[in-house]
Structure 1
Amino acid sequence: MSPVSSGNAGGSRVLLRRLRDVMVQDADTQTRLDRIVAQIGTTMVADVCSIYLRRSDGSLELFATEGLSRDAIHRTRMKAGEGLVGLVAEGVEPISLADAPKHPRFSYRPETGEDPFQSFMGVPVLRSGRVVGVLVVQNRYARTYEDDEIEALQLIATVLAEIVSVEDLTGALSEFQIKPTTPETLKGKAYSRGLASGQALLHDPDVEPTRYLSDDPVAEEQRLDEALIKLRSGLEALLAGDVQTLGGTSFEVLETFHLLSQDRSWERRLRDGVKNGLTAEASVEQVRSEHRARMTSAKDGYIRDRLHDLEELDNRLLRYLSGEAGDRKEAPENSILVARDIGPAELLEYGRGRIKAILLEEGSPSSHAAIVAKAMGVPMLGQLPNLLSRVEAGDMIIVDGNDAQAYLRPDRMVSAALHSRFEAQSAEQKLFAATKDLPSKTLDGQTIQLLLNAGLAIDLEQLETTGASGVGLYRTEFQFMIADSLPRLDAQTALYTEALDLANGRPVTFRTLDLGGDKVAAYMPTEREENPAMGWRAVRMGLDRPGLSRYQLRALVRAAEGRLLRVMFPLVAVVDEFHRARELLEKELAWARSNGRLGPTRVEAGAMIEAPALAWDTASIAEHADFLSIGTNDLMQFFFAADRGTAKVADRYDILSRPALTFLKHIRDSAGQTPVSICGEHAGRPLEAMAMIGLGFTRLSMPAGGIGPVKRMLMSLDGEDFSRTLMSLLRIGDGHLRNALKDYAKTHSVIVN
C-alpha cells in the first residue's frame, strides 16, 4: 500500500511540496520532468512512473520515465488510441488494471523493457479540457490500486499540466500539443453573413489559477467554503428575481445550476483536491478540466448538456474565488467573440465597433442574439462543434459568414486566399453603394420599398449608406434590456428623438416593448414559463401593465412632436388587444394636448402579425389598423410548431414551401388596401425576398446587410412574370419550392447570390 492510500492526505501534500520544489529549480524541461517522475515513483512506491506527452500529430511520446529503459525516452511513440496509454487519452478517464498484459488493448514495446510489470494505472493530463498527455505508474506485481491512489495521481496530473504549460511558453515543447497551435477549419451554420478577422475573445474566459499548491489547506478549504456560499446565494437571488442582470439566461438553466451547486459528489471532489494540497482555484480547475474532457468525448446529448452545466458551474465558482464575479472586461480592438451561447443583452454589453464577428458552439439563426448581430453588422456563426476546447484566448481567427466557416490559427496560404475574399467583399459593397440612390424598381416598373430594421441609434446611420426608404422596425426593448433600472421618461424621449432626427424625415416605425421570452429586463422579475415564446410577453405584458406602456407611449408622443409618429404593437393575437393598446396611445395623445404640448402631426398605429390567430383574421384587423407587418421569425415558428431557439428544429422547415407561401398569400390578399410589410431576416435574403414580391408584397423590412443584395435582385426581376410563375408553382408544384425558385432565377438572370 502506498503512502498516499487509505485517505492519507499528508502523503499527497508531501509529494506536492516536493513537486513545488522541482518547479522552482533552475533546470531544463527534460531534467525537470525526469525529477518529477522520480519523486512520484518514490512517494507512491511505484516501480515505474512515466510521462507521455501528446505530439502535434496526435501520437503520445514517452517524455520522461523512472523504471523503464531510458533508451526508450523520445523513441517510444504510441499512435492515437494505441495501447493502454492511448486508451486513457481516448476515454479521458483513469484506468487501473491489476494484470495489464491481459487487457486486449495492451501494446508491448520491447525497447521500454516493461516485461516484468503487471499492474498499470494511468490518468489523463488535462489542460482546459484537452488531453495533453498521460501520467502512468506501474508495479512489478499484480495489485489493485485504491480509489484514493487514483485521485492522488489525478491531483498530480493537474499540477503536471501546469508545469508543462509553463514549459511550453519557453518554446521547449513546441512539437507537442500543449495548446492548440495547428490550423483548424470549423464548419457551422451562418446566422449573420460577412467576412471578418481578428483575435479570439472568450465570452466566459478561463480564470486561470495563479497558484496551484497551497501552504495552508485549512485556509484554502475556508476560501472554498466562502466561494460556495456566495455561488449558491447568487443563484438563489437570481431565482428570486433579485438580480442585476439576467441576459439570456433562462430560469430553467438557473434552476439546474442551483440544483447542481448542491451536488455532494461535485463538492467532495473539490474538497479532496484542497485537502491534498491544491489551492481552491487549482482544485476547481482540476474538476473543470475533467468535465470539459468528458463533454468533448460524450456521444449522448443529455450527458453533454449536464456536463456543460457542470462546466458553467465550475466557471462561476472560479470567478467567485478570483473576485471577478460579475465583471465584464472591455473588448480589445478587432475581437472575435467566442462563446458557447449568448443572449442579446450580453452581446449588447460589449458595445459596437470592437467586436468583428461572433462564434458560438451552440446558438440559433433566429435567436435575438442573431438579430442583434445583424443589427451590429457583424458575422455570426453557430453550431461549431467543440469550439471552446479548440480555441485559446488571443488566437487569430478568420470568419467567413458567407460559407459558414471559421478558420482557427490560419496558415499563410489560407490567409492569402481569404484576403482576396475580403477584397471581393469590399468591391461588392462598393457596387451596392453605387446603386443606393437608384430607384428601387423591378424590370417591369414595380416599386418595392426597402426598409431598415434597427434597434440601436447607430443602426440608423445605415439609412444613408444603404439608401433605405425608412425604418420598418425600430426595436425599443434594447434600451430596457441593457439598463439596470427602468429608463426614465427623459432618457426614452431622448433616444426616440435621436432616432427620428437621424432618419431625417424618413418614416420610423417604433415597435412598442417586446419583452419576455429570451428578452429579459433585470429589474422586471418574471415567472417561469414552460413555453416563454408563447407566454406573457410583448403586448400582453403591456396591456397587463398599462402604466409601463403609457410611460413609453408618452415618450414616443413627446419625441414625435411636429412629426409623423408610427407605432406598432407586437404579438397581437386578437383584434381586441389592438383596440386596447390603441386606447392607451389615444390617452397619451389626449394627455399631451391637455397639457399644451404640440403633439405629432399625424399618428399611425399598426399591428405585427406573429400569431396565426390574427393571421386568419387579417381582414378584421385590416379594418382598424393603419398598417400591418408580418413578423416572419415568430409567425413561422408558430406556424410550423418549431421553436426557433432550438437548434435541432430551427432549420427544419422552410418558408419557401407551399404551405408557408400559401399562408402568407392569404394574409396579403385578406389585408385589402391596408399596407402590409414583410419584416424579418427572410426579407433580407434575395431568394426569399423574390418570393415575397411574387406574392404581392411591396414593403420589405430587413437588416442593413440585406438591402444591397435584395435591391440588386429586384432590379433584375420581372415581377409580373415571376408572380405568374409562382402562382402556378403554388397550384401544381410539390411542397418544396426552393429549388424551383432557384431554377427560375438562373434561367431568367435574376441575381439571388
Structure 2
Amino acid sequence: MPEIITGLKLSEGIGFGSIFISTRAEIEVSETTIDKAQVDKEISAYKESIQHAHIQLRQLRENVGSHLDEDSAAIFDAHIMMLDDPGFNEQIINNINNLYNAQKAIQEAGKSYITKFESLDSEYMKARALDVKDICMRLIANIQGVALTDLTEVDQPVVVVADELTPSASAQLDSKYVKGIITANGGTTSHSAIIARSLNIPAVSGISNIISKVRHGDNVIIDGYSGDVILEPTEVEMAAYSEKQKAQEEREEKLKDYIGKESKTLDGINIRLFANIKGPEDINDVTDNDAEGVGLYRTEFLYMNRMNLPSEEEQFEAYKTVLSETADKPVIIRTLDIGGDKELSYLNLPKESNPFLGERSIRFLLKNEEIFRTQLRALVRASEHGNLKVMFPMVTTIDEFNRAKALLIEEKQQFEAENDLELSDIAVGIMVETPSAAMISDQLAKHVDFFSIGTNDLIQYTMAADRLNDQVSDLYQPYHPSVLGLIKKVIDSGRSNNKWVGVCGEMACDFKSIALLIGFGIDELSVSPKSLLSIREYVSGIKKTDMEHLSEEVLSCDSAEDVLYLIEEHLNLT
C-alpha cells in the first residue's frame, strides 16, 4: 500500500524516481593525544589539509558557478573564507599545542562553532552549523585520505534521500538524474534548498527518520508544491501526478504571454509589480519575469553566511551591479535589517530575551553608526549607476527616520565634496512594519518619499504573535480587522500626502490579500520574481471598483474568519 508523508516544502516541482539513500562517509576521529615532539608534525598535517581543501573548494565553486547561479556558487566562497578565518585557525593550532592530534583539534574547534550557531534563534544561522560540519569533515577526511559522499555516480532518475545534505554533496547534484530531494533536516535557507531551487529540483524536508522509512531502489513521488512524499505509488497515482506535472508546465508556459504587458486592472488602474531580491544573483529572475523594478533588496544577505562585515567596496559593487543591470527602473534598497530571526554571529551581540522587540534593524544601525555609515557611503556611490531609492527598516518614530536620513545626507554631501560632483536626489522611505509607524503614518508621510508596508512583521506586532512560534500561530492573522485597518490607514496617509505606498510582505503574493490591497488603493506590490507573472495575470482580471466595495465591507467585520468568508464569497472562491 502506498504511504503519504508530508514535510516542509523547500523547492517546487514534481519528481519521480527510485530512492537513492545518501549517507555520509563514516569518519572516526582518534581520541589519542600526542606528545610535544609530535606537535610540529600535526600542525603540518593540518596546514596541508587546509591547502588541499582550498583546491577542492575552488574546484567545487567553479563547477557550481558554471551550471548554476552565483548565489549557489557563493556558498563555497563562505567555506573558503572560514578556512582563512584567523579565529578558527588559531583555535585549532591552540588545540594541537594542547596536545590534541590534528583531527581531534579540528573536531573540537568545529564543535564550539556548531554549538554557537545551533544556540541562535535564527533558522538561517542554525543552518550555518551544517557549513561548519562540512568544512571540518573535509579537513579531517583530507588528513585521513578518505573520500567524502559522491553523488556523481548517479546515472538514472533518482530521488535522493538523506538525513541532511551538506553543501559539498548538494554541489554534486545533476538535475538530469536527480528528480527530487527528501531530507530529515534542513530549512528553506539551507544550502541544499538553495541549490535545489536553482536546479528546479523539487525538495521536501522535515521528515524525521526518513532513512528508516524507505529502502534503496523503491519508487517514490515527491510533490514540492504540497510537501507530500508518496512512497511506493500505484500506477493510478503515477498517472495523476504526471498529469499534474504536465498541467503545471503548461501553466508556466502560458504565463509568459504576460511578459511585456502592463499590470492593469480591468478598469484601467495600474498596479506596479516589483521584485524582492537578495542580491545581484537574482537579477536574471527580475529580468526574465519582467519586473517593473526592485521593491525590496534585502541587504542583510550581504552580511550573512560569512565571518566578518562586508567592506564598503564589496557593498558598492553589489549595489552598483543591481542598479546598472536594472537600467532606469526603480531599485529600493533596504538598509541592514538584522535582529529578530536574523543574526550575525561574528558581531558577538549580547543575547536578548526578546530579540523581536530588541535592538534590531534601524535601532541597531543608529547605535552602530560606523557600520551604518559604511553602508550609506556604498549606497551613495552606487546611486550614480541607476534609479536608487533607500528604505529604512522598522522605523517606529519620526526621530529615528530623521536621524537616519541626516546620516545619509551627510555621506552624500561628503562624497560630492570629495569628488567635486553633484548627485541626483535619493528618494528615502521607510518600511512600515510596526503599529506605531502605521498609527502616525499621516505625520510620517510629511517626511518620507514613500512607504512600503512589511506585512509579515506588521501582523506579528499588531497581533502580539511571534510568526515563528507554532504555539501562537493561530493568532498570526493577516486578515484580522485590526491589521487591515492599519494597512488602510497607511495607504490613506500616503495618498493624502501624494506619497506612493507599496506592500512587500507575504500578503503581496496572496490573491485574496491582493484583492483587498487594490481596493484600499495600493500603488505597488513587491513579490518574489517567480510569482510576478501569475500576479499580473490575476490583477488583469479584476476591477478596482469591485474591490473597493469589498474593502469597505471587510473593515466592519468582527474577525478574520468573517473577513475571509466575505472575500471568498465576493471572489466566488467558496
- Matches of residues 571-650 of structure 1 in structure 2 within 5 Å? 571-596=394-419, 598=421, 600-650=423-473
Give the corresponding residue for 2:314.
491
**How far, CA to CA, are the matches of 1:369 and 1:501 in structure 2?**
28
CA contact (8 A) 1:684 1:705 kept: no
Q: Is the 8 A contact 1:476 1:510 kept in 2?
A: yes
Query: Residues 16-61 of structure 1: CA distance to partner in whole angstroms, max 9, x if unpaired?
Result: xxxxxxxxxxxxxxxxxxxxxxxxxxxxxxxxxxxxxxxxxxxxxx
Query: Residues 562, 471 of structure 1: CA spacing in aligned structure 2 closer, same or farther, 3 A cutoff?
Result: closer
Q: Deviations over 1:652-683 (max 9, x none)?
A: 53312323222321222233332111112221
CA distance in 1, matches of 2:180, 2:282: 17
Query: In the TM superposition, what is the alpha-carbon distance from 1:402 to its structure 2 partner?
Result: 2.9
Q: Cα offset for 1:451?
A: 0.9
Deviating more after overlay: 709-718 vs 644-653: 644-653
Uncovered stretches (5+) of structure 2, i.e. residues with no partner: 35-99, 127-131
Cα distance in 2 for residues equivalent to 1:428 and 1:717: 19
2:405–2:428: 8 Å Cα contact kept in structure 1?
yes
Cross-structure match for 1:713: 538
Q: Aligned with 1:746: secondary structure?
A: coil
1:682 maps to which of 493, 497, 507: 507
The change in CA–CA distance for 1:314 and 1:670 in structure 2 (over 3 A counts) is closer
Contact 1:562 1:599 in 2 (8 A): no
Equivalent residues of 1:480, 1:521 under 8 A apart: yes
Larger RCO of the pair (alpha carbons < 8 Å, separation 6+) = 2
The root-mean-square deviation of aligned C-alpha atoms, in Å, is 4.5
| Structure 1 segment 19-418 matched on structure 2, within 5 A | 184-188=3-7, 190=9, 193-195=12-14, 206-209=23-26, 222=32, 234-236=110-112, 246=117, 249-251=118-120, 381=204, 384=207, 386-387=209-210, 389-390=212-213, 398-408=221-231, 413-418=236-241
Match of 1:674, as an amino acid? K
**Mapping for residues 457-472 of structure 1, pairs under 5 Å:** 457-472=280-295
What do residues 631-659 of structure 1 show as CA deviations (whole Å, max 9, x unaligned)?
Answer: 11122122222222223434653312323
Alpha-carbon separation, structure 2, partners of 1:541 and 1:457: 25
- Say if 1:437 and 1:413 are closer, same or farther in 2 by CA, change over 3 A: same
- Separation of aligned partners in 2, 1:544 and 1:669: 32
Cα distance in 2 for residues equivalent to 1:598 and 1:353: 50
CA distance in 2, matches of 1:521, 1:582: 24
User: Does the Cα contact within 8 Å between 2:171 and 2:195 map onto a contact in 1?
Assistant: no
How far off its partner does 1:568 sit?
0.7
The answer to whether structure 1 residue 432 and structure 2 residue 260 are counterparts is no
CA distance in 1: counterparts of 2:207 and 2:536, whole angstroms? 32
Q: Give 1:506-545 correspondences, 5 Å limit.
A: 506-545=329-368
Q: Distance in 2 between matches of 1:233 and 1:419?
A: 48
The one of 545, 556, 560 equivalent to 2:383 is 560
Counterpart Cα distance in 2 of 1:571 and 1:375 = 30
Q: What code does the residue aligned with 1:738 have?
A: L
User: Partners in 1 of 2:455 and 2:162 — Cα distance?
Assistant: 27
Superposition TM-score, scaled by structure 2 size: 0.72
- SS of the residue corresponding to residue 344 of structure 2 reads coil
CA positional deviation for 1:382: 5.8
3-state SS, counterpart of residue 682 of structure 1: helix
State how far apart, in whole Å, the 2-side matches of 1:221 and 1:410 are.
47
Q: CA deviation at 1:621?
A: 1.6
**Alpha carbons 2:11, 2:203 under 8 Å: kept:** yes
Name the % identity: 28
The separation in 2 between residues aligned to 1:543 and 1:431, in whole angstroms, is 47
Contact 1:375 1:453 in 2 (8 A): no
Contact in 2 for aligned 1:183/1:411 (Cα 8 Å): yes
Q: Which secondary structure does the structure 2 equivalent of 1:485 belong to?
A: coil
The aligned amino acid for 1:700 is L
> Which amino acid is 1:564 matched to?
N
Deviation (angstroms), 1:466: 1.8
Task: Show the counterpart of 1:502.
Answer: 325
Partner of 2:527: 702
Change (3 A) 1:412 1:460: farther
What's 1:739 paired with?
A: 565
Equivalent AA in structure 2 for residue 712 of structure 1: E
Q: Secondary structure at the match of 1:742?
A: helix
- Checking the alignment, whether the CA contact within 8 Å between 1:207 and 1:319 is kept in structure 2 is no
Larger Rg: 1
Aligned-partner Cα distance in 1 for 2:431–2:192 = 20
Deviation string, structure 1 residues 561-598 (Cα, Å, up to 9, x no partner): 15322111111122211111111211110121111164
Q: 1:314 to 1:456 in 2, by over 3 A?
A: closer
SS at match of 2:556: helix
Rate the CA distance shift 1:596–1:705 in 2: closer, same or farther, 3 A: same
The offset of 1:715, in angstroms, is 1.1
Cα distance in 1 for partners of 2:256, 2:159 equals 26
Higher helix share: 2
User: Does the alignment pair 1:691 with 2:510?
Assistant: no
* Residue of structure 2 in register with 1:262 after alignment: none
> CA offset at residue 364 of structure 1?
8.1
CA contact (8 A) 2:163 2:209 kept: no
Q: Which amino acid aligns with 2:565?
A: N
Cα offset, 1:684, TM superposition? 1.2
Q: 1:511 offset after TM fit, Å?
A: 0.8
Residues 565 and 602 of structure 1 are in contact (CA less than 8 Å); yes or no, is this contact kept in structure 2? no
Distance 1:607 1:657 in 2: 23
Alpha-carbon separation, structure 1, partners of 2:565 and 2:467: 23
What's 1:480 paired with?
A: 303
Q: CA deviation at 1:397?
A: 5.7
Aligned-partner Cα distance in 2 for 1:362–1:705: 25
| 1:230-256: CA deviation from partner (whole Å, max 9, x where unpaired) | 6555444567x7xxxx4xx334799xx
Aligned CA distance change for structure 1 residues 628 and 656 (closer, same or farther; 3 Å): same
1:592–1:599 CA contact under 8 A, matched in 2: no
CA contact (8 A) 2:180 2:201 kept: yes
Answer whether contact 2:333 2:391 (CA < 8 A) is retained: yes
- The answer as to whether partners of 1:562 and 1:600 remain within 8 angstroms in 2 is no
Q: Give, in whole Å, the separation in 1 of the partners of 2:453 and 2:165.
A: 26
Count how many residue pairs are aligned between Structure 1 and Structure 2. 491
Instruction: Report Cα offsets for 1:280-338 as digits up to 9, x if no partner.
Output: xxxxxxxxxxxxxxxxxxxxxxxxxxxxxxxxx9999999986799x998986999787
CA separation of 1:732/1:483 partners in 2, compared to 1, >3 Å: closer, same or farther? closer
